[in-house]
Structure 1
């Protein structure tokens, strides 16, 4: 009888934990657009509540402060984002096909999710000053590096040539291109996505020794 009661208590506790986690995830997702609109420096839990359907009290119950909420929101968003190119990598059968689809996909996410990407860069910049979520930002950044690394490594394999740069350097270059394009997009440049698409395609060509040697002949 004691074992049965203990099992039931354990199941109830797990359900409560699961419901708490599900509610946190729901609140963090709802807060994403408010966070993306306002940015880190201009945001408090109260301001996030005003931009969403939830009260300040509810947000404060599930999150101790805005750092915890922002980190949770960005982690959830990035968990989806870091798989956005997996299908392209798996389906591509030639280097040309991968190059075209990847460059188009990067341009498309710039067009569709500019404000959410802005939130990520805001959080990453703030982590230089806010130690409280620095570890989370580093972890997310590492996952983004692996995402880009998978694409470029597959491209190199399809091209039959080794990469000229480390995965960290490759990620830094692609990330720099994307951040620059994001700035141009937010500044109102209508060709920001197209330029990003073209530059991504050219960069993939530059990153393999085979393509470099062909051009140098």
Structure 2
């Protein structure tokens, strides 16, 4: 769809008025593309923030009039992207975006960070600190949930209802430590219109503290 969109936009402009366009592909790395024919998605990841950081140094000497981003809509660091768009605005360089693919896409919700205690003891209560990043779903109520890995259909071990806001939201959940549980997951429900579900679940494990007594 990205190629088709670019072709249609170009064809709608008289040949004499067509702007000079530099094409770049961003996945795991930013790479300049010689022509539309060679523009293709070959990476598993879509790292937009690092690409926007590197883009000014890759541009030709004349500053462009605008940057157009055609993406799947998935976000990996909303706060970082906000700072980058502010920096582009200060350069008088507007960024226009188009989500490729499903026209029903609204945005994305992601578990951006998760920090767990370094060591725990069975029977303790462990505090999980996480950051939820979202765009396009402000006001939507969702529930963060902790499950035993592979048992996501069973009752959750801990839950936290939150109301989404555009940007990053720090959250804390408390879970009872059980040495028999082992691997766990922290997850958010996949909402209609999300760009991807890959960043809605994060696996983790609580390392048990060794409580064996030493005999002197």
User: TM-score normalised by the shorter chain: which range applies?
Assistant: under 0.3
TM-score, normalised by the number of residues in structure 1: 0.27
Structure (1 or 2) with the greater helix fraction: 1
Structure (1 or 2) with the greater strand fraction: 2
Q: Which has the larger radius of gyration?
A: 2
Higher relative contact order (CA 8 A, sep 6+): 1
